[in-house]
Structures are given as structure tokens and as C-alpha cells.
A and B are shown apart, each in its own frame.
Chain A
Amino acid sequence: MTDRHHPAPDERDAALDAAWRAYSVETPPPALDAAILAAAHREARSRPRPAGDDDALAEAREPSKWWWGLAAAATIGAIAFGLVQIVPPTAPTEPTGATDMPATASKRPAETAAERKLEAGAPAADAPSVPGSTVAPAVPKASAEAGGAMRPAPQDRGSDTTPTPKEKPTPKPRDPASVSAPTPKETTAPTPKETTAPTPKEMTALTPKERMPRAFPAAPAPPAEEKSEEGRKRALTSESATAAGMAGPPTSAPAAAPAARGAPATPSGPASGARRESGAARDLQGDDGRRLNAQAATDAGRAEARIPAEDYVARIEAHLGAGRGDDAVRELRAFRAAYPDADERLPPALRPWAAGVPRVPAPPR
């Protein structure tokens, strides 16, 4: 044994020490030696460090940060969504939902402008005391030429029975009663045929009182066009018939005036039309109304074809009897405009006077 120590010799017995050295030779088993040495080496490699330097412990104590990125992304997304909701859209977008407006409103500014003009003209049409105001404002030139341009505007023809591709398909003609009193639900602009004046057959079925209000409202285009065509034919025939006895040029212009005015045939709406109808009916009560109507018809030269010839004759006689020669002449011209054979319909007593009234020259075509 190399680790044998030998303390002070006092209290020691040499024989005992030698016997002890020979006896006490045990050592720990090799397995235990290896285990202890391995533990010692393991501990030597992992030297004890101060608690403050323990990086692993510090990392373990740190809060988890894996969710920081996710939280940041969610916050940014929420802010972006809020901004999108708050900021108003800069560019108008095409409406995607169902609407009562025409789908092509935004694509046809010209039509929209025309509709706006019609809408603006609607309140003026409500004024029944001003007959000229009932003229549809869509064709101001036609109203300016109230004297007598018989020339139908191109759009008048377009607004005839065959609608242009831009126009909505027109419904079939309805009962006249439904035209005079449209329901409030009819919010869409009525097509020309909805306000179409009754055909001559219908006119004959109507009483004179029924005819009066119907003649006064804004004359729809297609029937007026038809009427104008008929009047033109009549005028031509009368011209040919009375060309020899007439001093002035053939007066077919007044007959064309209603057609020209009615040609726009763009009613400003059923509601306004109904108001117009009722206002006209109010004004046409009595003689004053008739006079006003006659004057309006003379001035505007529209829809007078509906007035019976007897009424014209009675008015002319009344004017002449009252000494209002100018009014009588005006009435005669309206009569001529409405009836190409007006002079023939006059009583014999008035024919010499009527022969002295020159006809309005027809406008050049």
C-alpha cells in the first residue's frame, strides 16, 4: 500500500502494524471506482457557474415570444380593415344591387340629360293656366316654331311606333282611362304609347266633353304623328281642291304644329300627366274654358283637330257677332288647320268672309 501512513511511533506496536498492513489490503471494486471517476469527470466538465451566468436558466425564464409575430399581423390586419371601412370610396362604382333606375342610365349621358330636361319641364306642365307650358320641353325648337313647322323632327319619327334600340320596349296601348289616371305605382316614365291619344275611331266614340280634356294634355307623339300625316294628306287634298280660290299659300302648317309639338312625346311622368289632366279639365269648364282652349289651340295650334267643326263655327260666329274680327280670323285659321275643308264646313253666310281671310303660307319643306 502506497498510501499507508505511519504516524508517530508512540502508542504503536511494530508487530501489530506489520500484521495490519498484511491484513488490511481491501480496495473498492473497479466498478465503483469507474462510477466515481466518471461522476467526477462529468462534474468537472460541467463546472458550477454562478446563477447569474446561467444563460439557459435565463432563457427558460424569458417569456415566450413566438406569438409576437402573429399578434403584430393581426393588429395590422384589423387596422387596415378599419381604414377601408372608414375611408369613403373615391371612384364611383357601378351599382351592383337591384335598382329601379334604368341600367343604361350611366352609359347614356345624352338620354339622362334629356330625361333631366323632361323632369325639369314637368312642374311647368302642371300650370294649367298657361297652355303653352304643356308643351314638352324636350323640343324647344318645335315650340318656338309654333307658327307652323309641319316638318316632323327626326326624333319624332324615331319615337313613333318603332322604338329605337335605346328605348325600352313599349307596352301595348292601354285603356284611355288608365292613361288619364295613372296609378302612383307607375314610377317609370311612360312610353309614348301609354299617353297616346285615342285613335279616330276612339274619338268618335267619345263625347265632346270627354274629348276636350284629352285633347289638351301634351299630345303624345305617335298618334299626333299619325294625325299629322293624315292632316298633311287632307291639307294636300284641300290645297289641290281649293288652290284656285285661295289667295294665300296652302296652310298646312297649323295642322303640323300639333304634331310637331306632340312629336317629342316624351311625357314627363304619369303623375304630372294626371295633374295636367285634372287641371285641364278644371279649366275647360264653361265658356271661359272653351275660349281659353280655343285661344290656346289657336296660339299653339295643337290638338285642335279634336274640336268639332260645329264648335269652330260657333266660335267664329261668336267672335264676329262680338265684333272681334281678329279672334274670328284666328279661330278660322285654327279651324282650317284642324279641318282642311274648313271653308266648306262654314255656313254659307260666313264663306265670303272666310274667303277674304288669307291662308297661312306653308313653311318650305
Chain B
Amino acid sequence: MPAPGPDDADEPLMLAYAAGRAEAFDRLYARHKGPVFRYLVRHCNDARLAEELFQDVWTGVIRGRARYVPTAKFTRWLYTLAHNRLVDHWRARGQLGFVSIDDEGAGDGRDAALALPGARTDEPETRTAAKEVGARIAAALAALPAVQRDAFLLQQEAGMTLAQIAELTGAGEETVKSRLRYATAKLRAALEDLR
């Protein structure tokens, strides 16, 4: 197998790493470490916890390299590991994770989203960040329902399409489209005064 180039797709790199080429993993890690970490940080709203989950996700990638089959995109497999790790973490803490809050029935969806971790606006760092755009975005994101936030993050950080997000989350594309619409609207509203 030739040495992995800088423009190689993720799947050949993962196969190269599974074949024992550590430099392939270096390229994969450099390419996906930021989005995965931010995906976890935005969900946890806790950098230390995010680091722990981030390490677990990549450890899963390393240990699961022999089971990797390139039938789908590498990003889907990578974010599936991250998504499942988050679900496990929330279930372990007894918290409701990705509740199925449909945007159409959103009467009390806001309250449910605010009850999720990361949606607490009274956090000191949230309040500090709110002073800036980023802080507003973070606060708006944290205020989003988990499923909407998860769909928004998968779209923004992982660059997934509606179909990929729907496949990863196990929801329909229309559902994912609705979640994205709700999430975008809320974030847009949070940044309305900044424009």
C-alpha cells in the first residue's frame, strides 16, 4: 500500500492504519480531531469531560481499526462512535440524552431543551461568553434541544448531509431537516442583535 498522501480520503487512510501504518492515523487524527472535540465540547459544555470522551472516542478508533469496513464514509463511523459515547455518558449519569423533541410539537420543547446539560445559561462561562458573539452562539446552542444541537453540530462540525445525519441518528431526513430548521432559527435569533 502506498504512503498516504495529504489529499487521500479518510477511508484509505483508515485502511492504511489498520494495515499498520501509523502515519495514516496521524493524518486522520489531524483532520478530524478539532471537529470531534468541538462536537463533544458543545454537547458537554465541559472541556474536561469533553477531553475524556474525546480520548475514549479515538481509543475506540484505534482498537476498532481491524473491524473497520469501508462500506460507508469514515466520518460517519467516527461520529457514530462519538455519538454513542455521549449517549453512554448521559445514560451513565442518569440524564436524559438525546430526547426526541420534535420541533413541530415544540410547545414545551424549549423547557426540555433548557433542562439538558449545557443548556444552563446560568453557568459562569456561559455568561462570560455571552458577552461576545461566540458566547452568544454557545449560549444559543446550549439552549437548543439535544437532538437539534446534535443535528446542528453534525452539520456544522462533521459536514454531514441531511441523509447522513438521519442515518447516524436513526431519524428520518425530514425530522433532521426540521431539527436543523429549529436550531438555525434559534441561533439566528440569538445573534439578531449582533447584526
Q: Which residues of A contact B (CB under 8 A)?
A: 1-8, 11-13, 15-17, 19-20, 22-29, 32-33, 35-37, 39-41, 43-45, 47-48
Contact = CB atoms under 8 A, between A and B. Distances in A.
A24 B65 CA distance: 29
A153 to B, nearest CB: 112
A20 B17 contact: no
Contact of B62 (A27, A28, A33, A43): A43
Which of B37, B177, B195: most chain A CB closer than 10 A? B37
Nearest to A27: B34
28 contacts: A2-B31, A4-B159, A5-B158, A6-B159, A7-B161, A8-B161, A8-B162, A11-B184, A13-B184, A13-B188, A16-B187, A19-B133, A19-B134, A20-B137, A20-B156, A22-B133, A24-B38, A26-B38, A26-B47, A28-B33, A35-B55, A36-B55, A36-B62, A37-B26, A37-B29, A41-B22, A44-B17, A44-B21
A43 B158 CA distance: 26
B101 to A, nearest CB: 18
B155 interface: yes
A340 B26 CA distance: 144
A48 B34 contact: no
A23 B134 contact: yes
Contact of B157 (A24, A28, A29, A41): A24
Contacts, number: 113
A15 B195 contact: yes
A4 B38 CA distance: 12
A27 B37 contact: yes
B41 A36 contact: no
Given A15-B188, A39-B59, 19 more contacts: A3-B31, A3-B35, A5-B157, A11-B162, A11-B177, A11-B180, A13-B184, A16-B137, A16-B187, A16-B188, A19-B137, A28-B34, A28-B37, A28-B51, A35-B55, A39-B62, A40-B29, A45-B22, A47-B20
Which of B17, B31, B156, B162: most chain A CB closer than 10 A? B156
Which of B33, B42, B47, B158: most chain A CB closer than 10 A? B33
B29 A33 contact: yes
Interface string B152-195: 00011111111000000000000001001100100110010011
A320 B194 CA distance: 188
Which of A1, A32, A44: most chain B CB closer than 10 A? A44
B55 A32 contact: yes
Contacts of A16: 137, 184, 187-188, 191
Given A3-B34, A45-B22, A36 B157 contact: no
Interface residues of B, number: 47
A45 B47 CA distance: 31
Interface string B31-60: 111110110011000010001001100110
**9 closest Cβ pairs, A-B complex:** A5-B159, A23-B134, A44-B22, A41-B22, A40-B25, A28-B37, A36-B58, A11-B180, A27-B34
Contact of A26 (B26, B34, B180, B181): B34
A37 B17 CA distance: 12
A27 B31 CA distance: 11
Contacts of A43: 62-63, 65
Contacts of A35: 55
A70 B110 CA distance: 81
A231 B135 CA distance: 160
A295 to B, nearest CB: 128
Interface string B52-96: 001100110011011000000000000000000000000000000
Given A5-B158, A26-B37, A44 B191 contact: no
B138 interface: yes
Contact of A23 (B29, B51, B137, B158): B137
Contact of B191 (A5, A6, A19, A26): A19
Contacts of A40: 17, 22, 25-26, 29, 58, 62
Interface in B1-43: 17, 20-22, 25-26, 29, 31-35, 37-38, 41-42
B66 A48 contact: yes
Which of B38, B159, B195: most chain A CB closer than 10 A? B38
Contacts of B37: 26-28
Given A32-B51, A32-B55, A48-B66, A37 B41 contact: no
Contacts of B32: 3
Nearest to A20: B156
B189 to A, nearest CB: 10
A29 B33 CA distance: 10
